[in-house]
Amino acid sequence: MLSLGRSARRVAATLVPQTWLWCARNDTASTVRRLSSPSPRYDVIVIGGGHAGVEAAAAAARLGTQTLLLTHKIDTVGQMSCNPSFGGIGKGHLVREVDALDGLCARICDQSGVHYKVLNKRKGPAVWGLRAQIDRKLYKVNMQKEILQTPCLTVCEASVEDLLLTEPEAGSPGKCCVSGVILGDGRRVHAGSVILTTGTFLRGMILIGLEMHPAGRMGDQPSIGLAQTLEKLGFTVGRLKTGTPPRLLKDSIDFSVMARQRADDPPVPFSFLSEAVWIKPEHQLLCYQTHTNPKVEQLIRDNLHLNNHIKETTKGPRYCPSLESKILRFPNRVHQLWLEPEGLDSNVIYPQGMSMTLPSEIQEELVTHIRGLEKAKIVQPGYGVQYDFLDPRQLTASLESRLVQRLFFAGQINGTTGYEEAAAQGIIAGINAGLRVKGKPPFIVSRTEGYIGVLIDDLTTLGTDEPYRMFTSRVEFRMSLRPDNADSRLTFRGYAEAGCVSQKRYDQASRMNAMLEEGIEALKSIEFSGTKWARLIPEATISTNRSSLLSALDILQYQEVNMEILARVFSEPLKKFAEWRQLAQRLKTEAVYKRPVSFQRAEIEEVRRDEALQLPEDLDYFAINASLSQEVREKLDSHRPQTIGAVNRIPGITPAAIFNLLKFVKISHQRAKRTEGIK
């Protein structure tokens, strides 16, 4: 659903000749200054200031590496180029995990939201989807403030024309090594690693009706040098499409005939650090719901010949189709449309579900057939975008390219869609680019540890043929990887292994964790028979026919029971846990998932063991002397699994093939050891 039109234009704009560099740095936050040194040097350079770019730059800077963020316009940093919302089911998990690693988006959302709502509230805390409508302007302002005040981070307005490449370092795969970038004005900036987060800048095309033009200003060739270099280096590209709905003028809409959706009261913050969000519950804005009707369907059918975008064979997302494809695939149905505010003082409404590429005059007519939109005015018509992405199977799990050493990719360029998916990759690329410079081992989130791990493992092992979006159904260990415990899963690792987590956050997570453990112990120590419990807590229907003792932790699993009720009965030991609202909620969640989580642990161990068996990066699957069929070799070569765990997830690989691969690797390993011994 993310339109890439805007970010693609951004890249094109970098072609405007620039005579000097405007930079903003934390120490000169309010002033923009000129980069003085003729050939400056940084540890990490991040190209692109979108959602992946800012997380990458901030993460690298948190590691203490000198970081340069290059963007064509500082004013577009943190821009929400498509929908005015953050989070959702599965996506909310990603935001929480980015936050657990001390990323930015969760905190900025807590400062910029206008309508907070937890989705799936009735379906169990493992699948709650934190979501909020965000004020676009506020988000951008708050993000820029944050980025410009980050220590070790310099932000510069500059176009990037090309990469500086050198001979590859011995001992790791790759045909060359990146050592910096060449700017639009021909100057060189050197760096230890470079992260590309340039969205859809490769051959982006905008489509409205039968019109089609390059994303970017007419006549501009999108970032020629960089695109050509990537092509020359032999990166495999694929093509994707997506679309965006028309924007409507708020004043022209009759909301009185539509169903209202209220925000949560109290709103649930995204960040573990936020006690509450910035907006007062009662000041939150409303969202509205309306529907399509047969007239709309007929109009779309009558005008299919005027619609180039949906005729194309390029893959679009199945989960976020255009209105046209929804109507073609599921005819004679009413489809939902959500009207979402773009901000507190914005007069623009974003009609979620109405993405389309019909000619603009037909879009104008179509809108007026919808209830409540009879007089609606379109501010900007909907359009489709097609673009190239780089096959993410060319990356390692640290998001470093296998072809070019020290070059990292994150965000939409890897075939994903969504701010959250971009941010999740950005933070991992930023951390690893920093660790690479420091000569430390990469920081990999396993798919047993987080949605981030699932996202990156899916991308780098299986690739994608549609814009990849996070769903909870993609996650094997959904009971264990919950929004509530993202800090227990990632904050301590981030602190100890990557150094991307502040002391403050670490201390807070430690306190929470200690209290959780203490609380669980306290609950376990209170034990009675079912009969006694039924008497103590009459509101719950506790089964009395079990002879064994039940602990308070067992009782807490009951739907009707919460910490408050337990603390009413056992004030002394439990009061302090019940009083801390977040802690009480987390204890309840731990109790509910206690059993499945303990079952999943054994499975998680199994996957981790497989993941610990690493395969060499540069294995030539066609040449190796192992009993593998040609088909299996081809699959292994195109997926380039990094561990035996990843091999297991490639469709069509047999246990026998896995075994033969293991055997081969072990023999090679022993040979390598022997040779080392001789040396």
Partner 1 sequence: MWLVWGPGLPAAGHCFARRARVLCRWYSQAAQRDTIFALSSGRGKCGVAVIRTSGPSSGLALLQLTGTNKLPLSRSAALRRIYDPESSEMLDRGLVLWFPGPGSFTGEDVAEFHIHGGPAVVSGILTALGSLPHLRLAEPGEFTKRAFQNGKLDLTEAEGLGDLIHAETEGQRRQALRQMDGDLGRLYRHWSDALTKALTHIEAYIDFSEDDNIEEGVLSQVEATVEVLEKELRVHLQDGRRGERLRDGVHVVIAGPTNAGKSSLLNHLCQKPAAIVSPMAGTTRDVVEAALNIGGFPVVLSDTAGLRDTDDAIEKEGMSRARERVRGADLLLAVLDAAEMAQQPGRLVSTLQGILPPAQQDGAQPTLLVLNKSDLLGGQNRAALLGACGQLGLPPACLLSCKTGEGLPSFLDTFKEQLSHMCGDPLLGSPSPTQARHRLYLTKCLEALGCFGQHRHLDLALAAEDLRQARRLLGQLTGQVGVEEILTLIFRDFCIGK
Q: Is 198 exposed, middle or buried (0-12, 13-18, 19+ CB in 10 A)?
A: buried
In angstroms, what is the minimal distance from the CB of 102 to partner 1?
A: 14
In angstroms, what is the minimal distance from the CB of 344 to partner 1?
A: 22
Tell me the CB-side half-sphere exposure of residue 349, using CA atoms within 13 A. Answer: 26
- The DSSP-derived string for 574-613 is HHHHHHSHHHHHHHHHHHHHHHHHHHHHHHHHHHHHHHHS
Q: From the list 87, 125, 199, 411, which residue makes contact with partner 1 (rule: CB under 8 A)?
A: 125
The CA distances from residue 463 to 233, 276, 456, 650, in Å, are: 19, 38, 10, 10
Unique residue bearing structure tokens 């050198």: 166
Distance, CA of 447 to CA of 643 (rounded, Å): 12
Q: From the list 95, 105, 127, 566, which residue makes contact with partner 1 (rule: CB under 8 A)?
A: 127
**Binding track, positions 443-482, relative to partner 1; x by CB under 8 A:** xx-x--x---------------------xxxx---xx---
Around Cβ 576, how many Cβ atoms within 10 Å?
A: 15
- The DSSP-derived string for 527-556 is EE-HHHHHHH-TTS-------S-EEHHHHH
In angstroms, what is the minimal distance from the CB of 310 to partner 1?
A: 13
Q: From the list 353, 415, 463, 483, which residue makes contact with partner 1 (rule: CB under 8 A)?
A: 353
Interactions with partner 1, residue window 655-674 (CB under 8 A)? 655-656, 658-660, 662-663, 665-670, 672
Residues 6+ apart with CB under 8 A from 561: 537, 539, 540, 555
**By CB under 8 A, is residue 602 in contact with partner 1?**
yes
In angstroms, what is the minimal distance from the CB of 614 to partner 1?
A: 4
**Binding track, positions 269-308, relative to partner 1; x by CB under 8 A:** ----------------------------------------
Q: What angle do CA 82, 207, 317 make, to 5 degrees?
A: 55
In angstroms, what is the minimal distance from the CB of 504 to partner 1?
A: 15
Q: What angle do CA 158, 162, 163 make, to 5 degrees?
A: 110
**By CB under 8 A, is residue 514 in contact with partner 1?**
yes
Residue number, 161 or 420, with CB nearest to partner 1: 420
**Binding track, positions 330-349, relative to partner 1; x by CB under 8 A:** x--xxxx-x-----------
Task: Please list the alpha-helical segments (H only) found in 263-320.
Answer: 294-302
**Binding track, positions 225-264, relative to partner 1; x by CB under 8 A:** ----------------------------------------
Coil/strand/helix, residue 415: coil
**By CB under 8 A, is residue 510 in contact with partner 1?**
yes
**By CB under 8 A, is residue 593 in contact with partner 1?**
yes
Interactions with partner 1, residue window 79-108 (CB under 8 A)? 88-90
Distance, CA of 132 to CA of 128 (rounded, Å): 13
Interactions with partner 1, residue window 135-194 (CB under 8 A)? none
The CA distances from residue 352 to 114, 131, 157, 382, 553, in Å, are: 16, 14, 33, 11, 42
Residue number, 338 or 533, with CB nearest to partner 1: 338
Q: From the list 224, 496, 549, 569, which residue makes contact with partner 1 (rule: CB under 8 A)?
A: 496
Residue number, 18 or 585, with CB nearest to partner 1: 585
Residue number, 53 or 418, with CB nearest to partner 1: 418
Among 603, 608, 616, smallest CA distance to 666 is for 616
Q: From the list 238, 359, 442, 573, which residue makes contact with partner 1 (rule: CB under 8 A)?
A: 442
Interactions with partner 1, residue window 359-378 (CB under 8 A)? none
Distance, CA of 600 to CA of 33 (rounded, Å): 54
Residue number, 26 or 668, with CB nearest to partner 1: 668
